[in-house]
Amino acid sequence: MAKITASVFTSHVPAIGAALDLGKTQEDYWKPLFAGYDFSKQWMKDNKPDVIFLVYNDHATAFSLEMIPTFAIGTAAQFQPADEGWGPRPVPVVQGHPDLAAHIAQSVIQQDFDLTIVNKMDVDHGLTVPLSLMCGQQDPKTGAWPCPVIPFAVNVVQYPVPSGRRCYNLGQAIRKAVESYDEDLNVHIWGTGGMSHQLQGPRAGLINKEFDNAFLDKLIHDPEAAASIPHIDYVREAGSEGIELVMWLIARGAMSDVARGATADVAGGKSPKLAHRFYHVPASNTAVGHLILENT
């Protein structure tokens, strides 16, 4: 049986990808940010998954105002790094896992979540920057990511966006789907995006350390409370792009936990163990947050 053993949460700032690709990681501005991921790169080597289920958002790259799926699962065998206007990032092609992805689509749709199935999709910084942060730079031709990745794109760009509660419940459905897959696979689920940031308008540059750290606390210890945050609070407190944080609730919903509160469906088991926590301001216009949780 496949099993979700761990979850990773991280921001995906595109400037982090540029700093990596242009060899700037040791510059004074970037050094403290990348130091926060030293533990994580070693952890990835020590806890190598068979598959990563990677929740991220597309930034009007593969999708546009012409077509806006709320939840889209990548079922292809391969996903090319996208050209976001300055050429594709020099990173390896992402290998998918069509069989597990198709199984998850079947199971999750039968659990009443309507997913869009995507058989061809280029993946932007939302997916490739977390991979680079966690796995280090890989040569685009001779290197490879450590395992297949199932991209799962969430619309947090164009309103209406899904609520945190729906994302949390969806994570529980994804867990059930993974656990009903016959092959023994060690699966990690990643929630990416966030933390507080606003890229446009009079509040551009907004960062809210108090909100971000309270969100991290809730995500670790009281995910029900995190799932209850209404979408307007993300926008008010964490800025218009802070809404990306709802994606972290998909990954958290897929983890074990003592049943609490309103959601009858929360998977049982012990609360996950916190393996790593990191918070850093700023990276570009963004507060960077990062957690690793392990099922015990």
- Residue 44: which of 5, 3, 98 has the closest Cα? 5
Return the amino acid letter for 174.
Answer: I
CB of 52 to ligand DHB, least distance (A): 19
CB of 242 to ligand DHB, least distance (A): 10
- Site for ligand DHB contains 121 (CB under 6 A): no
Stretch that binds ligand DHB, among 9-17, 141-149, 202-210, 273-281 (CB under 6 A): 9-17
Considering 97, 103, 125, 188, which one is annotated as catalytic? 125
CB of 84 to ligand DHB, least distance (A): 10
- Site for ligand DHB contains 284 (CB under 6 A): yes
Question: Based on CB atoms, which residue is closest to ligand DHB, 75 or 192?
Answer: 192
How many CB atoms are located within 10 Å of the residue 122 CB? 17
Pairing mode, strands 186-192 and 51-56: parallel
Applying the rule CB under 6 A, the residues between 184 and 243 that interact with ligand DHB are 197, 199, 241
Q: How many Å apart are CA 180 and CA 257, to the nearest integer?
A: 18
β-sheet with 51-56: strand ranges across: 116-118, 71-74, 149-154, 51-56, 186-192, 3-10, 286-294, 273-283
Instruction: Kindly tell me which residue out of 191, 285, 291, 295 binds ligand DHB, with binding defined by CB under 6 A.
Output: 285
- Site for ligand DHB contains 59 (CB under 6 A): yes
DSSP state of 92: P
CB of 133 to ligand DHB, least distance (A): 13
Stretch that binds ligand DHB, among 20-28, 83-91, 255-263, 278-286 (CB under 6 A): 278-286
- Site for ligand DHB contains 14 (CB under 6 A): yes
Instruction: Count residues near ligand DHB (CB under 6 A).
Output: 11
Helical spans, DSSP H, in the chain: 14-21, 31-35, 38-46, 98-110, 125-135, 164-179, 209-221, 223-227, 231-238, 246-253
Neighbouring-strand partners of residue 68: none
Stretch that binds ligand DHB, among 42-50, 165-173, 272-280, 282-290 (CB under 6 A): 282-290
> DSSP strand E in 14-100: where?
51-56, 71-74, 78-79, 94-95
Question: Based on CB atoms, which residue is closest to ligand DHB, 23 or 85?
Answer: 85
Does residue 290 have an active-site annotation?
no
- Residue 193: which of 63, 293, 289 has the closest Cα? 289
Question: Based on CB atoms, which residue is closest to ligand DHB, 57 or 70?
Answer: 57
Stretch that binds ligand DHB, among 12-20, 78-86, 108-116, 201-209 (CB under 6 A): 12-20
Does residue 125 have an active-site annotation?
yes
* Contact (Cβ atoms closer than 8 angstroms) between residue 16 and residue 31: no
How many CB atoms are located within 10 Å of the residue 22 CB? 9
Considering 59, 197, 231, 290, which one is annotated as catalytic? 197
Secondary structure of 237-254 in the HEC alphabet?
HHCHHHHHHHHHHHHHHC
Positions in the binding site for ligand DHB (CB under 6 A): 12-15, 59, 197, 199, 241, 284-286
Query: What residues are labeled active site?
Result: 125, 197
